[in-house]
Structure 1
Amino acid sequence: MQQKELKAYQVGNNDIVAHYSPQEARAWPIDFAGYAEDDIELAEVELVDDRRLDLPVVDEEGAQCGTLRADLASATEPALLLSWE
């Protein structure tokens, strides 16, 4: 049986999650972050492009924390990769 590949999806305006499909990525903040079912439309979920995967992630203090691609590669299950307000 072939294992599904995790991909990075931006969900709404504030979250990037690793998941297997846009539908499952949409469900992540609803299931784990307390969003209401109608807070996020499927149209608000988009695959993160290669350019964004390779940009350095910077924390609140301005320190570089690697890239989304590195975080995605180390993920072994669906997870929140990045969130901001």
Structure 2
Amino acid sequence: MHQELKAYQVGDNDIVAHYTPEQALEFLRRFCGYTDEFSLDDVELTSDDLLDTEMHEEDGTPAGTLRAHLAAATEPCYLHGWE
């Protein structure tokens, strides 16, 4: 059975593509070196509005929508973050 990647927002600043909220949290912990900064209460599915928002690189260059990045993802990954 093929699982579908979903975009999860972890905390206020990070979007991760993964299969479950638990896996998204664990991925971000490993990816960023976090230990206990976040709990499952800090993980939610990314809203459709945010998925359709144009993202930008740090220098302001347009980077496409989160939905486009999620559609292109073939495995769990870090999609986007803000400082």
**Do these two structures clear the TM 0.5 threshold for a shared fold by scoring above it?**
yes
Instruction: Identify unmatched segments of 5+ residues in structure 1.
Output: none
Query: Per-residue deviation at 1:30?
Result: 1.2
Moved >4 Å (runs of 4+) = none
Match of 1:10 in 2: 9
Q: Note the aligned Cα RMSD (angstroms).
A: 0.9
- Over residues 17-63 of structure 1, what are the superposed CA-to-partner deviations in whole Å (9 max), with x where a residue is unaligned? 00001011111121221001x21110100100111111100122222
Distance 1:61 1:32 in 2: 23
TM-score using structure 1 length: 0.91
Total equivalences in the alignment? 83
Aligned pairs for 1:21-36 within 5 A: 21-36=20-35
State, as a whole percentage, how many aligned pairs show the same letter. Answer: 53
Match of 2:47 in 1: 49
Distance 2:37 2:59 in 1: 30
TM-score using structure 2 length: 0.93
Instruction: Identify unmatched segments of 5+ residues in structure 2.
Output: none
